Amino acid sequence: MPRWGEGRDLTRYLCAAAYLDREYARSLIKQVAAQPHLGVAAAPACDVPVVLRHAYLANARRHSRDLVLTVLFLLAFVFAFWVGHPGITLLVLFLSWVTVFSFELSTKYGRHLQSLRPDRFDPAAAPLPLNADVAARLRQISEYADGNVTAYSGYSPFIGYGSALDSWSLTFDVTASSSPGLTPQDFDVTDLYTHIAERVGTLVLPCLEIEERLFVDGSGLLEDTRFLPDPLGRPVARIPFAQMDALKRTPEEGARPYLAVHSTGWGGELVTSLFLRFIRSESNLFVEAVPTVLFPLLDRYRVIDTLMPRPPLRELVTLFSQTLVSTVFVLVASPVRAIAGFAPDYGMTWRVRRQDRLITRLRRFDYGARQSVRRQAADKKHHRYFQKADSGMVLKTVEKRVLDALVEFAQARDIDVGDLVQRQETIINNGIIAAHGARVDSSSVASGERSRISMRVLNKIPLLNTD
């Protein structure tokens, strides 16, 4: 069972992100905690229920601030446009700024965020759930941490594991004998999965984890009691090993098992994975490999490690200038936010009723996870050159071991490996197989002496903080 290198710091950072980013906390609750019909995406090295508890508390704090600002907004409106008293209007605006400034100061230097410092963080001391219903849903979500099933929605099944890189696949004949007079031995594809897992497991890589995981299409689960016992509940988090082996032998369109190899480094922030699938037909063996990389968190969520116990003068000046500009925007938005804040689950009751109607009447619903707690806060690139080098090393090392294990498995059963060895030797430095029926899926490929790939990156203009 993957333990992801005990990514304690990663959970800290994601808890801090709930306080520092309003949209992130809102999306965690609306798309994960308040979705009792959806599966839960993987979150490597992260304790999801702990993060969700902090997200609920962070939203409750913002709601309290928005209630105060709503009262001040109404007073400012009355004295500005009805009574016509500019002096009191300015006083109300000043009090609004004091409220926003105090909130930002208490967010960064108050006890909640300060409790997430490296020497103080205790997952067991996470805020209590708001009510029994939230507590029950968080217990359900925690079961997926030890599960082996991912119900996905949309195109990519590997939700939660980062960005998919260049995949490769190959096919070779398993009926050709290695020597004249020998007959290739038949084999069960489950034995191949076991052999590959054993050989890869001997590698010395950072926090190497190996698991078998089933990816099921959430839009096709409604009539499948194997993965959805209760149509008005969540998809199962785990299936028995015997059922997993049956799916290896008889592949299905909407349910596909993979052997997943993960290596976690850099404090749990960099997760490099390779997903392997083997399909045995009467005469051929098809091999599919999909590498993914889950990049480190965005830098703005690491501020917890740089905060002093008390704000220095420079930080006070920065907060002063920032809130002086953003107060007007936050004040105008406060009435709508205050009303929405009375529903901490963001309209879950109405949303669930609508989903129940789709399930019971139309018999159509997508149970796949919509969002990953971990990937939502991740960057889209490596932060260090050595991180990129480590990802490449892991993928090349695992791919080579997988191909070596394939050759060993075939030789032990008197299967001709000449074609397979030739394909193994055609792996170029970037790890893509491109010969004899292999396939390359890439958005940018260049070859030849004068070939060149150019990409323009448009840096996003920082937006005003209206949190």
Range of lowest pLDDT (190-194, 348-352, 388-392, 455-459): 455-459
Please, what is the angle between helix 385-411 and helix 189-200, to 10°? 130
More confident residue, 63 or 175: 63
User: What is the distance between the alpha carbons of residues 130 and 63, in angstroms, rounded to a whole number?
Assistant: 14
Residue 192 shares a structural domain with residue 282: yes
Give residue 336's Cα distance to chain centre: 30
Residue 395 shares a structural domain with residue 426: yes
- What pLDDT does 467 receive? 66
pLDDT above 60 (res 47): yes
The domain boundary, picked from 358, 376, 394, lies at 376
Look at residue 32 and tell me if it is in a domain.
yes
Mean pLDDT over all residues of the chain?
86
User: What is the distance between the alpha carbons of residues 398 and 188, in angstroms, rounded to a whole number?
Assistant: 23
Residue 345 shares a structural domain with residue 391: no
Mean predicted confidence (pLDDT) in 169-190: 86
Mean predicted confidence (pLDDT) in 69-83: 85
More confident residue, 431 or 203: 203
Range of lowest pLDDT (31-35, 446-450, 455-459): 455-459
Q: Which of 263, 300, 250, 266 is nearest to 467 (CA)?
A: 300
Burial class (CB in 10 A: 0-12, 13-18, 19+), 217: buried
* Structural domain span for residue 280: 163-294+382-441
Residue 107 shares a structural domain with residue 198: no
Q: Are 368 and 255 in contact (CB under 8 A)?
A: no
Residue 86 shares a structural domain with residue 35: yes
What is the DSSP-derived secondary structure letter of residue 433? -
More confident residue, 58 or 130: 58
Name the band, by pLDDT with cuts 50, 70 and 90, for residue 463.
Answer: very low
The domain boundary, picked from 321, 356, 376, lies at 376
- What pLDDT does 447 receive? 40
User: What is the distance between the alpha carbons of residues 460 and 207, in angstroms, rounded to a whole number?
Assistant: 34
Residue 275 shares a structural domain with residue 330: no
Look at residue 452 and tell me if it is in a domain.
no
Strand, coil or helix: 197: helix
Structure tokens at 15: 């808890």
Residue 109 shares a structural domain with residue 42: yes
Structure tokens at 243: 């059922």
Model pLDDT for residues 81-114, shown as the tens digit of each residue: 776 677 888 999 999 999 999 999 999 888 888 8
Look at residue 148 and tell me if it is in a domain.
no
Please, what is the angle between helix 313-341 and helix 86-109, to 10°? 100
Residue 17 shares a structural domain with residue 89: yes
- State which of 4-13, 73-82, 134-143, 427-436 shows the largest mean pLDDT: 134-143
Q: Which of 12, 8, 67, 4 is nearest to 302 (CA)?
A: 12
Range of lowest pLDDT (62-66, 226-230, 423-427): 423-427
Model pLDDT for residues 265-319, shown as the tens digit of each residue: 888 889 999 999 999 988 899 999 999 999 999 988 888 888 877 888 888 898 9
Residue 267 shares a structural domain with residue 314: no
Name the band, by pLDDT with cuts 50, 70 and 90, for residue 426.
Answer: low
Give phi and psi for 226, each to the nearest 5: -65, -40
User: What is the distance between the alpha carbons of residues 249 and 15, in angstroms, rounded to a whole number?
Assistant: 42
Look at residue 144 and tell me if it is in a domain.
no
- State which of 118-122, 125-129, 436-440 shows the largest mean pLDDT: 125-129
Strand, coil or helix: 2: coil
Residue 229 shares a structural domain with residue 349: no
User: What is the distance between the alpha carbons of residues 94 and 102, in angstroms, rounded to a whole number?
Assistant: 12
pLDDT above 80 (res 66): yes
- What pLDDT does 438 receive? 43
* Residues above pLDDT 90, as percent of the chain: 57
Model pLDDT for residues 317-376, shown as the tens digit of each residue: 989 999 988 999 999 999 999 998 998 998 899 999 999 999 999 899 999 999 999 888
How far is residue 275 from each of residues 121, 259, 278, 331, measured CA to CA in Å?
Answer: 33, 6, 10, 48
- What pLDDT does 3 receive? 53
Strand, coil or helix: 302: helix
Model pLDDT for residues 183-221, shown as the tens digit of each residue: 888 899 999 999 999 999 999 888 899 999 999 999 999
Look at residue 129 and tell me if it is in a domain.
yes
- What pLDDT does 271 receive? 93
Please give the tally of structural domains in the chain: 2
The domain boundary, picked from 347, 376, 405, lies at 376
Residues paired with residue 294 on neighbouring β-strands, in sequence order: 271
Q: How many CB atoms lie within 10 A of CB 175?
A: 12
Mean predicted confidence (pLDDT) in 223-243: 94
User: What is the distance between the alpha carbons of residues 164 and 438, in angstroms, rounded to a whole number?
Assistant: 18
